[in-house]
Amino acid sequence: DMKSRKQKGLKMATNEFRALIAKYLALRNVDTADFIASIGMNKSTYYRRMKEPELFTVAELRAIGNCLRIPRDEIATIVLSFK
């Protein structure tokens, strides 16, 4: 049904978002704790948001993208699928 399809889509987008962050942390050789500090986020807030990335604010997503130098189109494609 429609609801389970939407949940599957959200789960896939969540996994893609986590993979994107992991990819850029590795590519940029950035320690996760340093990354969290540099985007100005509390550690527990960061991990809570990573469980449900659709809860990230636009400002938080912008900070993540800027810090890890993630191309805007790459992050936007995933974020738009959270809707």
Over residues 22-81, the pLDDT tens digits come to: 999 999 999 999 999 999 999 999 999 999 999 999 999 999 999 999 999 998 888 888
pLDDT at 79: 82
Q: Find all residues with CB under 8 Å of 53, minimum gap 6, and list them.
A: 13, 14, 17, 18, 82
End-to-end CA distance of the chain: 17
Q: How confident is the model at residue 2 (pLDDT cuts 50, 70, 90)?
A: low
Query: Dihedral through CA 73, CA 42, CA 16, CA 55, nearest 10?
Result: -80
Angstrom distance (rounded) from CA 28 to CA 37: 15
